[in-house]
Amino acid sequence: MIRALALGLLVGLIAIPAPGAAQLPGEAEDPIALDTLPVLGSRISSGLPLRTRSVQVMDREALDRLPVRNLAQALEWATSVELGARSPAQADLSIRGAGFEQLLVLVDGVRMSDPQTGHFDLDLTVPLERVERIEILRGPGSALYGSDAVGGVVNVVTRDGGAWSGRVEGGSFGTASGLLQGGVSLPGEGSLQLSGERGRSDGHREGTEWDSRIGSLDLRVPVAEGELRVGAATARRAFGADGFYAPFPSHETTRTRTAHAGWRSDPGASVSLEPRVSWRSHGDDFILDRADPAGYRNRHTSDQVAAELVVRGAPLGGLSLAGGAELARHELRSNALGDRAEGRGALFAEAAVIPAWGPEFTAGLRHDRYGPWGGFTSPSLAAGLDLGAGLRLHGSVGRAFRGPSWTERHYQDPVHAANPELDPERSTSVELGGTLRTSTMDRWLGITGFRRTGRDLIDWARPVGDSEAIWVTRNVNRSRTRGLEMEAGARLDSGTSVNIAGTWLSLAADVPAEFESKQLLRPIQDRIRLSLSQELPRSVLGSVHLARSRRTAEESFVELDLRLEAPTPFGTLFLDGRNLTNSRHLDLTGHPVAARALYVGASVGR
């Protein structure tokens, strides 16, 4: 029924006569106004990846209409993205069926993915209100960003400037949270941004309570005909982890600290420079059985220190170049994994041909050198072509890789046994798609097909039907993922915005029949999402988000979320409904997801 409704609305959207020009918020195409930062998918141009790659931009307006509490929940409504949430305190991310270890997370271009485990990639230090937009590259990104960028890359761009604002809310499961953020202007056109957020909940089932605290500061000042950016942030999350990794009433506390400093020269100069240094530290304190804390307890602290230099220039008309180098060191202190240290380095280059007419091309090449495994070379090629009448084609091919995490190589507990002899993963991806838009840009349809072939994929596995057996890491010889993505949208003069997106996946792997996969080989196989925003009387805004999903070899399920916003003289009141269909499908732990929930709140200065 949901699929038929979506297809019917899709046909209707294309057939409706177009009113005045308008823009559907949150979609990554030319109408989005972007700053001088290169958008995810290119180190050269902010517009190029939107024309040659599958990139989605969730802008501030789109984020404001989602009934979500944090950045991870917002990503759940992106195309081809799957959120494996255990609770609001921790979630895994997947793009195009790739596992949570097979994607890269950045904040303002700085790597945040954790070398210990991808479970910590979304332990970010950014409240949702501090986000200006979320950029999502679907497909390989190793040619630009190195290891882990197999299924895709997520870049969180923080806000620059803005007045002071605040938010308080509460609701189901004893949930309550508050936020205060704002900026201070400094002499010489500089600015200082500050934010703080606190949230807590009793949890959607016993043993899943959580408490979260986030704080950040960001300084931006003009220096030497460029801009200096310095920032620091911290986050602490304490939560019940009952059944998260093993069938025990566990508890976990994570701490994330980040700092960065970088300078960007005038982007209008003939040659521009961007040096940057960054640091990320992540601590994890995991108690397997909270009733017996001394029985089994893991303490890990990982540190990443990185330095990067990017040089950009346009030596010839229509030709733009970028290149640079990156150095990093990873360290781990752990009572379970041991004390370890590894280094990596990379050289990368990108060239773009953007003629006055005809096809646009971009080519990337990166060579990474990792201490444990040696060198990896990742090439990519992408192109886009306008055919007229609002029709545009794009295609790309690229290679990607990722090295096994420290957890996959060294972790041991009563139900897991890692393999230190794992090989790195390698993959090759190809995609081809097209977008059709009306002349006023307020109706559009996009379709993309892709294929990813992987070698030596890493997964946890155990014998089928043996619940007492332990999970062991291993390399899957070969896998083949095929997919089709569809996106369509319209904005009507009645104050209505409609967006439809669908993803269909097919995954085949050379896996012995006697083994079952823990996570990697069971993605959501197909998903259809419908989002509808409507301006109501008295300036009330309503947004409805409906999704029908089906995981491999499991029953389909339907989720419905809702947000209502009403302005007042003192701010904005909002009502959020989550999982209003009360779907009880199972999460990654094998327990039912959170039941129907309602939240109310107020914000000022937004």
H/E/C letters for each residue in 246-289?
Answer: CCCCCEEEEEEEEEEEEEEECCCCCEEEEEEEEEEEEEEEEECC
Band of pLDDT at residue 24, cut at 50, 70 and 90? very low
> Residues 6 or more apart from 214 whose CB is under 8 A from it?
125, 126, 127, 195, 196, 197, 198, 233, 234, 235
**Each residue of 584-595: pLDDT tens digit?**
998 878 889 999
Distance CA 466, CA 439 (A): 59
Distance CA 212, CA 195 (A): 14
Band of pLDDT at residue 488, cut at 50, 70 and 90? very high
In terms of average pLDDT, the best of 84-93, 140-149, 461-470 is: 140-149
Question: Which phi and psi (to 5°) does residue 537 adopt?
Answer: -55, 155
Band of pLDDT at residue 38, cut at 50, 70 and 90? low
Judged against a pLDDT cut of 60, whether residue 12 lies above it is answered with no
> Residues 6 or more apart from 372 whose CB is under 8 A from it?
342, 403
> What local confidence, expressed as pLDDT, does residue 36 receive?
45
Q: Is 548 contained in some domain?
A: yes
Q: How many CB atoms lie within 10 A of CB 414?
A: 11
> What local confidence, expressed as pLDDT, does residue 552 receive?
74
Q: Is 194 contained in some domain?
A: no
Residue 298 buriedness (CB in 10 A; 0-12 / 13-18 / 19+):
middle
Q: Provide mean pLDDT across the span 316-334.
A: 93
Torsion of CA 13, 14, 16, 22, to 10 degrees: 80
Q: What residue type is 461 in one-letter code? A: A
Q: Provide mean pLDDT across the span 255-284.
A: 92
> What local confidence, expressed as pLDDT, does residue 39 receive?
66
Residue 33 buriedness (CB in 10 A; 0-12 / 13-18 / 19+):
exposed
Number of H helices, E strands in the chain: 6, 32
Judged against a pLDDT cut of 50, whether residue 11 lies above it is answered with no
DSSP states of 414-428? TTEE--TTPPPEEEE
Q: Provide mean pLDDT across the span 478-505.
A: 92
CATH number at residue 305: 2.40.170.20
Is the model more confident about 176 or about 374?
A: 176
Q: Which residues of 309-333 are buried (b: 16+ CB within 10 A; e: fewer)?
A: ebbbbbeeeeebbbbbebebebbbe
> What local confidence, expressed as pLDDT, does residue 566 receive?
96
Q: Is 219 contained in some domain?
A: yes
Distance CA 256, CA 287 (A): 18
Question: Which phi and psi (to 5°) does residue 307 adopt?
Answer: -135, 140
Q: Provide mean pLDDT across the span 5-11.
A: 37
**Each residue of 385-440: pLDDT tens digit?**
999 999 999 999 999 999 999 999 998 877 888 999 899 999 999 999 999 999 87
> What local confidence, expressed as pLDDT, does residue 246 receive?
78
Q: What's the total number of domains in the chain?
A: 1
Query: pTM value?
Result: 0.90
Q: Provide mean pLDDT across the span 129-150.
A: 94
Residue 127 tokens read as 């409240």
Residue 150 Ramachandran class (φ > 0 left, ψ -120 to 50 alpha, else beta): alpha
The label of the residue with tokens 């918020």 reads 25
Residue 247 tokens read as 């069938």
Judged against a pLDDT cut of 80, whether residue 66 lies above it is answered with yes
> What local confidence, expressed as pLDDT, does residue 478 receive?
87
Torsion of CA 452, 457, 462, 464, to 10 degrees: 20
**Each residue of 515-574: pLDDT tens digit?**
777 766 567 789 999 999 999 998 999 999 999 999 877 889 999 999 999 999 989 999
Q: Is 190 contained in some domain?
A: no
Q: What is the 3-state secondary structure (H, E, C) of 434-469?
A: EEEECCCCCEEEEEEEEEEEEEEEEEEEEECCCCCC
Q: Which helix (H) or strand (E) holds 368?
A: strand 360-370
**Each residue of 156-188: pLDDT tens digit?**
999 887 789 999 999 999 999 999 999 888 888
Q: Is 209 contained in some domain?
A: yes
Distance CA 345, CA 367 (A): 8
Residue 265 tokens read as 């020269």
| Residues comprising the chain, all counted | 606
Distance CA 139, CA 95 (A): 8
Nearest CA to 158 out of 185, 192, 127 is that of: 127
> What local confidence, expressed as pLDDT, does residue 86 receive?
85
In terms of average pLDDT, the best of 56-65, 302-311, 474-483 is: 302-311
**Each residue of 239-265: pLDDT tens digit?**
999 988 878 999 999 999 999 999 998
Coil, strand or helix: which one is 606? coil
% helix, strand, coil for the chain, step of 5 = 10, 60, 35
Q: Provide mean pLDDT across the span 497-522.
A: 82
Query: Do 93 and 119 contact (CB within 8 A), yes or no?
Result: no
Q: Is 195 contained in some domain?
A: no
> What local confidence, expressed as pLDDT, does residue 531 receive?
95
Distance CA 265, CA 278 (A): 18
What is the extent of the structural domain holding 474?
2-185+200-604
Is the model more confident about 397 or about 32?
A: 397
Judged against a pLDDT cut of 90, whether residue 10 lies above it is answered with no
Q: Is 191 contained in some domain?
A: no
Q: Is 192 contained in some domain?
A: no
**Average pLDDT of the chain, as a whole number:** 88
